[in-house]
């Protein structure tokens, strides 16, 4: 007679509510301290800064849904290559929903973003943000100023250093320039930048005058991961902003401004793993997932995997340092 196994609750990806990683919901950011949170994942469904194809407002939903594939059991994720279990139950991760977006009012939506992220930081919780287009990053940068001063690592196809477009200074093509103007932002490292029409020559010159380090995928491959991370002062605080168009559109087509010749998943993974060891990552965002342009859903799933990878590496390094 076959022994009957004990019944389990599997919480399969296609059941329940699609929170990020199927982590529990904390509906009120003010309650984060009372629930003993380590990480708060928040969506910013704002694409009013987009210059071409809109749709990134649906990015948080797409990334959340994609993340459910990697959420079995919430008892940690075993990495067969590294022989390490990441994201174990010692870490308390909550999905706190989305920033309130006001349709047609870009600046009020940015203000709401800053206030929400600032509340997470005030609760001494690490913010992890899902965009939205890249115009949201300066609002996040203002919200995390109490975590600074910090350096910025940008993975992106585009420089995003335009001063303005006909007076609009807060679109997604100006995001990194706006960060550079903040007193708590130190050096900026711009990796994956490529292609014609990415930036005006004067934008590139302004970025270099500031002191930004700008590398294309080809230049990144020539240097290798070890040299790349050594460019960033070791042990210092780092904010990471990842535009999904930094990834090659062959594996992440669902974005409003795709650019051929991008990075592969493994390249980004190895870079993020090395950076997490080399620096103290205080917060990060991933932006520009526009699921309308990818009916397979692979872009949202790839974005979710990159976010979970980075969170895994950051928390594992904290685990080692704190002796958890």
Convert the pLDDT of each residue in 111-133 to its tens digit: 999 999 999 999 999 999 999 99
Q: Which two tokens stand for residue 198?
A: 């990415």
Q: Are 191 and 154 in contact (CB under 8 A)?
A: yes
- Across all residues in the chain, what is the average pLDDT? 93
Confidence (pTM): 0.95
Q: Are 193 and 156 in contact (CB under 8 A)?
A: yes
Residue 34, judged by CB atoms within 10 A of its CB (0-12, 13-18, 19+), counts as exposed
pLDDT at 54 over 90: yes
Euclidean distance between CA atoms 265 and 310, whole angstroms: 12
Burial 64-95 (b: 16+ CB within 10 A, else e): bbbbbbbbeeeebbeeeeeeeebbeeebbbbb
* DSSP 8-state secondary structure symbol assigned to residue 209: H
| 51 within 8 A of 171, measured Cβ to Cβ | yes
**Cα separations in angstroms, 317 against 95, 125, 150:** 22, 16, 18
CB atoms within 10 A of CB 54: 15
Q: What is the DSSP string of 2-53?
A: PPPPPP-----TTSS---GGGPPB-S-GGGTTTTT-SEEEEEE---TT-SS-
Q: Is the confidence at residue 92, as pLDDT, over 70?
A: yes
pLDDT tens digits, one per residue of 180-227? 999 999 999 999 999 876 678 999 999 999 999 999 999 999 999 999
Q: From CA 307, how far away is CA 193, in angstroms rounded?
A: 20
Q: 177: closest CA among 165, 159, 195, 191? A: 159
At 321, which helix (H) or strand (E)? helix 298-322
């Amino acid at each position: 007679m076959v022994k009957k196994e004990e019944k389990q609750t599997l919480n399969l990806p296609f059941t329940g509510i699609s929170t990020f990683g199927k982590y529990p919901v904390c509906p009120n950011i003010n309650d984060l301290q009372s629930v003993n949170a380590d990480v708060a994942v928040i969506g910013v469904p704002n694409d009013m800064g987009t210059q071409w194809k809109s749709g990134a407002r649906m990015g948080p939903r797409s990334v959340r849904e994609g993340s459910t594939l990697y959420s079995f059991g919430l008892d940690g994720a075993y990495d067969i290559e590294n022989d390490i279990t990441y994201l174990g139950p010692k870490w308390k991760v909550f999905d706190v929903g989305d920033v309130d977006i006001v349709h047609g009012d870009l600046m009020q939506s940015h203000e709401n973003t800053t206030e929400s992220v600032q509340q997470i930081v005030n609760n001494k919780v690490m913010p992890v943000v899902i965009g939205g287009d890249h115009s949201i990053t300066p609002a996040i940068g203002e919200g995390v100023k109490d975590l600074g001063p910090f350096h910025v690592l940008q993975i992106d196809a585009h420089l995003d250093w335009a001063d303005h477009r006909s007076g609009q200074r807060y679109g997604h093509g100006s995001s990194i320039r706006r960060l550079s103007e903040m007193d708590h932002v130190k050096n900026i490292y711009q990796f994956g930048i490529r292609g014609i029409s990415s930036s005006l020559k004067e934008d590139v010159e302004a970025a270099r005058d500031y002191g930004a380090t700008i590398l294309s995928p080809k230049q990144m491959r020539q240097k290798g991961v070890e040299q790349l991370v050594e460019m960033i002062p070791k042990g210092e605080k780092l904010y990471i902003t990842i535009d999904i168009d930094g990834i090659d559109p062959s594996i992440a087509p669902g974005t409003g401004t795709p650019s051929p010749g991008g990075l592969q998943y493994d390249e980004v993974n190895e870079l993020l793993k090395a950076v997490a060891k080399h620096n103290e990552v205080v917060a990060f965002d991933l932006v520009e997932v526009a699921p309308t342009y990818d009916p397979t859903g692979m872009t949202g799933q790839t974005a979710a995997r990159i976010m979970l990878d980075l969170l895994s590496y950051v928390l594992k390094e904290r685990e080692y340092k704190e002796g958890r």
